[in-house]
Amino acid sequence: MPELPEVEALRIGLTKYLPGRTITKVEVLKPKLISGRGNIRRASSKKTTTFIHGLTNATFKQIERRAKNLKFIFKDGQIMLVHLKMTGQLVYVGPRSRVDGGHPIKESNRELPNKQTRIIFHLDKGTLYYNDTRQFGYLLYYPDEAAFQKENHFELHGPEPLNPEFTEEYFVSALKKRTGVVKPVLMGQEVVVGLGNIYADEVCFAAGVRPTRKISSLKRGEIGRLYWAIRSILKRAIELGGSSVSDHRLADGSRGNYAREHKVYGRSGEACLVCGSLLKTVQCGGRTTVYCPRCQR
Ligand SMILES: [Zn+2]
């Protein structure tokens, strides 16, 4: 699943080419994906018609990101919200350029469209493909900002980790209100957005905190180290274009570089880079979790 740094890399990549491009034709091959959120969605022909009519002849203005959502804003005020979920991928193919990001789909390297292609936006220059193997992703259309705001998409989202409102004081007080275990709370998006399996493990290692610790047992100093680790690790990962660990591809088609800096993720059974102990694996919050039994307490 693409995490915050990978989605941000995709946003930056698409922003080089899409603003100013006009959609000339929309093909909705899988109406379910534009008909709502959640795993059980019924295709709606009314929504499909609205989606196609609303976006045909629309010109891209800018692309924003909130958590792992991409918000495409068009010149006449229309909005398309895209979430890639587990296996979504966006590929822009232009006259002399290609940008792809999200889940790596092998067929997409050979041909486009392919059997994983769900939505096609034909542009005045180039084509934008939405591909999705497991089809959990969604693309939602709104005629304007007011209609978008009404849905309150981001109401359960905590602050962006690199924005000024994510302060250490905020983090301390937000954790005080939580029960449960460190890793699932970090991944829950309500205290802070953007951390998934990879970055939650890396943050806990950098902070010297076991992912399985109870929130209520954390000392003030440990919370401070977690805060510092969240900011510095995500900042570094965005600078490097994310972690393309086997299942992510970057916006420019290259592999992300942050994977080279992983200290624990994907290194189960290998030696800790700090103390040499063998890294251990546990299940935590339903996810495979790697930690150092000596460096993390
Ligand atoms: Zn260690």
- Report the pLDDT value the prediction gives residue 237, as an integer from 0 to 100: 87
Answer yes or no: are the C-beta atoms of 41 and 280 closer than 8 Å. Answer: no
User: 245: helix, coil or strand?
Assistant: coil
Residues 19 and 111 in one domain: yes
3 is a catalytic site residue: yes
Q: Which residue, 150, 177, 196, sits at the end of a domain? A: 150
| Distance of alpha carbon 212 from the chain centroid | 24
First-residue to last-residue Cα distance in the chain: 28
Whether this model's ipTM surpasses 0.85 comes out as: yes
Q: How far is the CA of 267 from the centre of ligand 1 (A)?
A: 12
177 is a catalytic site residue: no
Locate 70 and state its tokens.
């991409």
Residues 196 and 138 in one domain: no
Residues 48 and 80 in one domain: yes
- Report the pLDDT value the prediction gives residue 273, as an integer from 0 to 100: 97
Q: Tens digit of pLDDT for each residue in 161-183?
A: 999 999 999 999 999 999 999 99
Residues 123 and 181 in one domain: no
Q: How far is the CA of 186 from the centre of ligand 1 (A)?
A: 21
Task: Tell me the residue range of the domain where 95 lies.
Answer: 4-150
Residues 144 and 245 in one domain: no
Confidence of residue 113 (pLDDT cuts 50, 70, 90): very high
Is 134 part of a structural domain of the chain?
A: yes
- Report the pLDDT value the prediction gives residue 246, as an integer from 0 to 100: 37
Tracing tokens 């992983």 back to the chain, one arrives at 262
Tell me the CATH number at 26: 3.20.190.10
134 is a catalytic site residue: no
Q: Tens digit of pLDDT for each residue in 204-233?
A: 999 999 999 999 999 999 999 999 999 999
Residues 210 and 83 in one domain: no
Is 157 part of a structural domain of the chain?
A: no
Share the mean pLDDT of the chain: 92
Residues 222 and 261 in one domain: yes
* 188: CB partners within 8 A, 6+ apart: none
Is 163 part of a structural domain of the chain?
A: no
Locate 235 and state its tokens.
């900042």
Protein residues within 5 Å, CB atom, of ion ligand 1:
272, 274-275, 277, 292, 294-295
161 is a catalytic site residue: no
* Total tally of structural domains belonging to the chain: 2
Residues 91 and 202 in one domain: no
Tell me the CATH number at 265: 1.10.8.50
Residues 134 and 210 in one domain: no
Residues 20 and 118 in one domain: yes
Residues 274 and 233 in one domain: yes
Residues 71 and 199 in one domain: no
Is 252 part of a structural domain of the chain?
A: yes
CA-closest candidate to residue 262, choices 251, 273, 253, 254: 273
